[in-house]
């Protein structure tokens, strides 16, 4: 097998591009989970289309994770040390905050055995809070890291073949019903993770191509959102494993947009330092991810929304309020707990 070497670093700007990308991705995720605070109903073509563009931002996170696996971890990869780091920074806060969310939502008068069974089931499925399904899925993805190391060491042609095959399978498998089957999610998001790895391994060649085509790639992604709207499908695609439910246009759309944003943010990062606010949002992104279900729940209980009655504006306001509250809370927790805050909120 031909072994690909990491691209030489010619400056720091291409890492800065992923600072932009991480900030952008977490904003999309918060927006996608904030619909319930607003009157944003997909009852007209414009809102239907906008919803299909906003939803599904987790794919961006998966692409970023794959890119960073190769760029950050692969050069000095040790399987045990890699998993220990993920256990500290992801599994520990996941267990803590899932338990907190579970306690807030489930009556304590149930029997101990029943409580334990419900708790373990929730942890396995990632159903304690909105978006928490991502953690069991990504931890399973990290467990099969030797497979990703082997993928990195293949020739570019073999990598492309595996990437296309995984995309073909994922387009039909789709996300699990209610996001409660992490193994299915591993299959669904495999092409996103592998694409992130591929972009890191072949960064220079990929950018040379994308910088000529990124506008067209972006237009193709937007076109898929329009097609999804035209056929009347709202949001993410979900299916029961081994059943046919069509082709996952959302996954294809977000992969195309990931390629376009990869190129766009490279251009942006090459023009100067990342703004302080963008850098802060990116650094706190996992803290925001873990905390945003609690912030959304608090906003619902406070009955602050919808303040204007204009769905699009209220969604922007909800995203800003939830995002700002989570960044503020993450900074406060980090100020009190110091480096131990990683075990609490992943930041």
User: Domain residues of the chain, as ranges?
Assistant: 13-345
Are 102 and 122 in contact by the 8 Å Cβ rule? The answer is yes
Residue 29 has pLDDT above 90, yes or no: yes
Average model confidence (pLDDT) for the chain? 90
Q: Residue 12, preceding bond cis, omega within 30 degrees?
A: no
Whole-model pTM: value is 0.92
pLDDT for residue 1:
36
Please state, in angstroms and rounded to a whole number, the distance separating the CA atoms of residues 307 and 310: 8
pLDDT digits (tens, 9 = 90+) for 302-323: 888 888 888 889 899 999 999 9
82: helix, coil or strand?
helix
pLDDT value of position 39: 77
Check residue 247 and give its pLDDT: 94
- The mean pLDDT value for 228-252 works out to 91
Q: What integer pLDDT is reported at residue 10 of this predicted model?
A: 36
What pLDDT, on the 0 to 100 scale, is given for residue 14? 56
If you search the block for the tokens 């669904």, which residue do you land on?
188
- pLDDT of 282 > 80? The answer is yes
CB within 8 Å of 324: residues ≥ 6 apart:
none
Q: How far is CA 324 from CA 108, 112, 205, 284, 330, in A?
A: 32, 38, 37, 11, 10
Does position 17 have pLDDT exceeding 50, yes or no? Answer: yes
Q: pLDDT per residue over 129-187, tens digit each? A: 989 999 999 999 999 999 999 999 999 999 999 999 999 999 999 999 989 899 999 99
Q: Are 220 and 214 in contact (CB under 8 A)?
A: no
Instruction: Answer whether residue 244 shows pLDDT above 90.
Output: no
Q: Which candidate, 275, 280, 292, places its Cα nearest to that of 35?
A: 292
Convert 291-313 to b/e letters by CB count within 10 Å (16 or more is b). bbbbbbbebeeeeebbeeeebee
SS3 (DSSP) at 145:
helix
pLDDT band at 115 (very low <50, low <70, confident <90, very high): confident
- Please state, in angstroms and rounded to a whole number, the distance separating the CA atoms of residues 332 and 58: 26
């Amino acid at each position: 097998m031909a072994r690909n070497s990491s691209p030489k670093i010619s400056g720091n700007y291409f890492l800065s591009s992923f600072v932009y990308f991480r900030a952008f991705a977490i904003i999309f995720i918060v927006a996608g989970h904030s619909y319930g605070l607003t009157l944003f109903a997909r009852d007209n073509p414009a809102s239907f289309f906008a919803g299909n563009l906003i939803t599904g931002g987790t794919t961006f996170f998966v692409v970023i994770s794959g890119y960073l696996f190769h760029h950050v971890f692969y050069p000095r990869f040790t399987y045990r040390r890699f998993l220990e780091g993920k256990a500290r920074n992801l599994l520990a806060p996941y267990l803590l905050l899932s338990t907190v969310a579970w306690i807030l939502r489930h009556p304590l008068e149930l029997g101990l055995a029943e409580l334990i069974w419900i708790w373990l089931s929730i942890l396995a499925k990632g159903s304690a809070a909105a978006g928490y399904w991502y953690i069991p899925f990504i931890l399973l993805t990290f467990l099969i890291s030797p497979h990703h190391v082997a993928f990195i060491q293949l020739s570019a042609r073999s990598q492309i073949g595996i990437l296309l095959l995984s995309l073909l399978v994922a387009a039909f498998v789709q996300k699990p019903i209610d996001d409660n089957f992490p193994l299915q999610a591993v299959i669904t998001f495999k092409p996103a993770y592998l694409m992130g790895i591929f972009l890191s391994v072949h960064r220079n060649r990929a950018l040379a191509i994308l910088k000529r085509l990124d506008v067209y790639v972006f237009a193709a992604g937007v076109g898929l959102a329009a097609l999804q709207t035209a056929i009347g499908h709202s949001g993410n695609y979900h299916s029961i494993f081994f059943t046919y439910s069509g082709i996952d246009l959302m996954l294809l759309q977000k992969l195309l947009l990931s390629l376009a944003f990869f190129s766009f943010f490279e251009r942006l990062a090459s023009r100067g330092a990342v703004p302080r606010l963008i850098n802060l949002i990116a650094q706190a992104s996992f803290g925001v991810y873990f905390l945003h279900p609690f912030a959304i729940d608090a906003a619902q209980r406070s009955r602050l929304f919808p303040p204007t009655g204009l769905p699009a504006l209220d969604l922007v306001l909800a995203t800003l309020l939830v995002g700002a509250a989570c960044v503020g809370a993450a900074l406060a927790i980090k100020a009190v707990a110091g480096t131990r805050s990683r075990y609490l909120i992943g930041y």
